[in-house]
Each structure stands twice: as C-alpha cells, then as structure tokens.
Amino acid sequence: MKNMSLYYKAFKELKKVTETHNDAKRARKKLVETHNELDSLIVLKYDCMIDSDWITEIENTLEFIEKAIREDRQFITSEGNVLPIEKVKKTSKETIKHLSQHSDLITHVPEKESDPLIPDKLYVVEKLSDYLVYENRFIFMLLSYLRDFIELRITKVKEKVTTYHMEVKMNKQINDNYRKMIYKLDYEDTFKNDPYLTDNYYKIPNVKRMENAYAQVISMLSTELMKQVAKAPIIKPPVVKTNVLRMNQNFKKSLALYDYITSYTKDGYTLTEHKNEFNPFDLKMADNIVETIELSTLISYSFGQNLLEQLEQEYQIELEKLQQEEIKKFTLEVSKLKNKVENGKLDPLEYIVKLEKLVELKDKQIETLSAEIKDSLKHLDTIEQLNDKVEINEKQIAALEKVIEEKTDQLVLNSLEHETTIKNLKEEHLNNLNTLKNDYLEELEKTKIEQDETIKQIKEEFTEKENHYEEKVKTLNETNEQKNQEISKYKDDLETIIHEKRELNARYYGLREKNGLNINEDFTSKKDFKELELEMDAYKKFFKEQWKKTKIRIKKEVKEELNTKGQKRKNTKENEKEENINFDE
C-alpha cells in the first residue's frame, strides 16, 4: 500500500510500450480469452453502525467524574521525626512538648547562663496529604474500566472497517507449437489500516463521539490526582458503597455509570460484510493483469538463462538508437522548416521552437556522454588515489618498522635492568623476612614461657577453689537431703491430718443429716464445693477401708461359728455313739 503510487507510475510506463505493440497485444488477448471463466476476484469490505446509547451514557457522566476529581479528596496525616537541629526548618507545639519530655536531646550546657540553651536534635512534625482514599481509588478504577471499554470497541471497529481483503484466482494454459505454458494463481492479500479506507472509518456516525469520549478518559487518567492514586493497589469488585458514593452527587453518578458498563453485555456496534465477486474479470482488468504473466516469464527466464547483462546491453543500444533516430528525424524536420522560413512560408518563431527542442535533445545526449566520461574519470581518480595511499602506506610501514626496531632494542635493555632490579629486591626481601621471622620466633618463645607460668598459676588456683566448693556443695547437699526428708515427713503428716479432717467432716455432716439436723453452711462456691468433693472422696476411701476390715471380721466370725457348730455336731455324734454302745452292752 505504501508504494502503490510508485508501482502505478511504473505500470503506466510499461503500458506505454506494450499497449500498442502488435505481438504484445496478440499475446495479451490470447491470455485473456484462455479459461477466463476460471478467473475470479473477491473483495471483502465492512460497514459499521455504532449504537449511541452507551456513548450517551458515558458522555453524560464524564462531567460528574471530572467534578469528582476536582474535589481532590484526601486524608491529612502527621508524621514526626527527630532530626539534627541544622536540618530543622520549622517548629511547632509538638516540638516544644517533645523536648520537655526528652531532655536527653540537650547534650551541651552553655558556658554562660545568659547564652541560649540549644539542643542537638528536635522533633519535627510534618503534615502529609494522603490522596489514596477509597473514593479516589474507585474513580481511578472506573476510568480504567472506561478506557478499556471504549478502546476495545474502537480497536475492533477500526480493524474491521479499515481492513481490505481480496482473493484472486487464475488458471491459464497455452499449448502452441513453440510454447507450452501453465500459469496458476491463488492469491490472497489483507491490508490492515488501509489509508484509502481510513476516511470511511471517520465517516461512520458516532465515531467522533466515541473517539472524543476516549480522549476525555485518557486526559482524566493523566491528572496529577489519578497519577498518585495509580500507585495504590486497584480496588476489586464488589464496590463498597460508602456514604460518599451514595450521597455525593458526583460520586453517585459515577457509581451509576460503573454499574451500567459492568452489566453491559452487547457489542455496542453492528458490522455488515460486503462481498463483491468479479467472475470473469472486467476487460480492462483482464488486459492489465495478464501483463504480470509476461513479467513473470521475463524475470524467471532472464535469471534462469543468465541473460540480465545481455538484455541490459541490448536495452542501452536500443535506447541510443532511438535517440539517434529521434535526432535525425528532428534534424530533417528542422532543415525543412528552415527552407520554409527562407521561402517565407513559415513563421520564424516556430522554427526557433524546433531548434530549441533539437538543442535540448543534443544536450541530453551530451549529458549522457558526460556522465559516462565522469564515471571513467572517477575510476581513474580512484586508482590514482589508491596508488598514492599505497605509497604513503609503504613509507609509514618503513617508518614503523624502524621505530619497532628501536623500541625492541630499548625493551631488551629495560628488560635486563628490570631483571637485575627484581633480583636485588628479592634478596633484600628475603633478608628482611628472615630477620622478621627470627625476631618473631624469639618473641613467641618468651610469650609462650610467660603464658605457661600464668596457666600453671591459674590451674592451681582453680584446683584449690574447686576443692573448696566441692566440700561446700557436699555439705549443702547433705543439709538439703535432711531438710527434704523432714519436709517429706511433714508433707505426709499434713496429708494424713487433712485426710482425717475430711473424713471427720464427712462423718459429721452425715450424722447431722441422718439425725435431721439442718446444715446452714453454704457450699455453692467453687472452692467450698471442691473441698466438699474431697471430703466425700476421703469418706469413700474411709468407707472402703472399713468395709474391707468388716468383711475380714465377718468372714472370721462366720468361720469361727461354723467351726463351733461342727465341733458341737462332732461331740453330739460321739455321745450318740457311746450311748449306742452302752445300750448294746
């Protein structure tokens, strides 16, 4: 699309040559008539109608959004810092109050009593404006939604309306005695943002309104307030309907627009596709498009046969020949006009015009020859310049070789001196190292002896103290063991007494309850009830112990009774037996 005009001019020049050429006309006619029923051109374009309801809704609310931004809602926050006094520019009541509570900030006492007391640091309160209130963040979110909402529709409408799509199909077959050709073309091309269709986009109703609304939204997002709010995290739906959003007119309208665009489910525009098909081609188009077949033949054949240089030479010869023929023709015409002027049959002005044209042709020829001569001279100048450069370079190389030789000799001398210096430095360094090493070893030996003596003394003191503390710890452990035994004994006695007391209390309360005596004490508190439970447990334990003893006693008594009865039966039987014996006797 960018080079459309350029190729059109070139095509017009081509047609000037081929349009009237008889062989070219016959070839084009044959190609046009061959299988023209298979030739087709399909063109796709789109028309668009944009709905006005959503644009009107946005336009009516943008005024209220702008007013909401101008309200410049903010929080005033106070931030205090202790700064060096040279950085303090302004003080306040908070500064004096803080200084009275933090006298440590005054570290220098004046020499004279009349001199002022100057602290090193002061507390400074800075009041900051915080624009990241919820309502401002809501406006930023709404503008971001509007930007994406409108931009999406602008992009889709513009993309469709300014896009040109075409499909070209051709199938040509020629079978002559000297040539057999098959030419198939299946060509698709899509131009986006076609400059010839951009005007149609701006002619669509409501496009300018949509673009203006988008520009207003972008402008509002570029305000200083929105730039500050953009630094905060964007709020996420659902939107909290604060008192400001519900009661303030500007924010109320903005909230209504937010509800509108978030619930808008339509595209907001209608696209209509227009498909134009040309089958077969129009005669003029067919005559023009078959030129591409011959051009394809020329390009592929000339490259395949490597004929580009030959064709260029032939073209230049033919061009020169045409120029010579044109000059001869014009010269003959001028001589005829000259005879007419001499005979008085022609106006001299016409003759002069013809002469000027002849001169112009000669000038063109001279310019062509001059250009060729200049090219030749340029080549000669280039060769001479290269020769001069070669000579200069040879001189420079010789000079550099001499310098390199001198530098090499100097480097050898410097290297020998450097090696000698390094050797002397190494020897000196080794001597210094040995001296330092010996001094260090002597000092280290002295330090080691002193440290050994100190360590021996410390060990002896430590052993003495360790023995003393061991004896002390042993005595304390024995005393502690005795105390622990006494405490354990006291604890056992105390538990026994407490247990007996609880048993007695339980028996006491039981006897009172058994005899119908009222118990006026209150055991409903947590502590008393817990004590009552423990008394009940003690009584149960006492009951179990007594029951065990009772069972043992009962068993013993039963056993003794059984033994007594058994003895009595035995005695009775013996008595009966004796009586029976006596009776028998």
Dist. CA 484–CA 293, nearest whole Å: 121
> How many residues belong to the chain?
585
User: 492-516: string of b/e by CB count within 10 Å (b at 16+)?
Assistant: eeeeeeebeebbebbeebeeeeeee
Q: CB neighbours of 364 closer than 8 A, spacing ≥ 6?
A: 323
Task: Please list, in sequence order, all residues whose beta carbon lies within 8 angstroms of the beta carbon of residue 365, skipping any fewer than 6 positions away.
Answer: 323, 327
* Amino acid letter for position 276: N
pLDDT of residue 144: 93
- Quote the pLDDT of residue 150: 94
The whole-angstrom separation of Cα 382 and Cα 303 is 32
Task: Give the per-residue pLDDT at 337.
Answer: 62
Contact present, 45 and 159 (Cβ < 8 Å): no
Q: In which order are the strands placed within the sheet that holds 40-50?
A: 180-191, 164-175, 40-50, 269-278
In the chain, the largest separation of any two C-alpha atoms, in whole Å, equals: 224
Q: Say how far apart CA 501 and CA 513 lie, in whole Å.
A: 18
Closest CA to 50 of 154, 148, 146, 193: 154
275 membership: H or E segment, kind and range: strand 269-278
Structure tokens, 199: 């005007």
CB 105 within 8 A of CB 82: yes
pLDDT, block means (10 residues), the chain with 585 residues: 76 81 83 85 90 93 90 59 74 74 71 72 62 81 93 92 90 82 88 82 89 93 87 84 87 91 91 88 85 84 81 78 72 67 63 64 63 58 66 73 71 71 76 76 80 82 82 83 83 79 72 66 75 78 82 86 81 72 57
Best CA proximity match to 257, nearest among 269, 243, 239, 271: 239
Q: What pLDDT is stored for residue 357 in this prediction?
A: 67
Q: Which pair of structure tokens corresponds to residue 266?
A: 């339509």
DSSP codes joined into one string, 344-393: T-S-HHHHHHHHHHHHHHHHHHHHHHHHHHHHHHHHHHHHHHHHHHHHHH
The owner of tokens 């063991």 is 481
- The pLDDT tens digits of the residues spanning 57-105 come to 999 999 999 988 888 765 445 466 777 877 777 777 777 777 777 777 7
Q: Residue type for 537, please? A: D
Are 311 and 302 within 8 A, CB to CB? yes
Instruction: Give the number of other Cβ atoms within 10 Å of residue 385's Cβ.
Output: 10
What does the DSSP assignment read for 385-407? HHHHHHHHHHHHHHHHHHHHHHH
Is residue 74 within 8 A of residue 131, CB to CB? The reply is yes
Residues with Cβ within 8 Å of residue 413, at least 6 apart in sequence: none
Q: Which residue type does 362 have? A: K
d(CA 10, CA 28): 19
Pick from 516, 520, 553, 513: nearest CA to 536:
513
Cβ–Cβ contacts within 10 Å for residue 61, how many?
21
pLDDT score, position 126: 61
Residue with tokens 């057999």: 180
SS3 106: coil
Distances in Å between the Cα of 4 and the Cα atoms of 106, 195, 197, 285, 295 are: 84, 11, 14, 16, 18
pLDDT of residue 95: 74
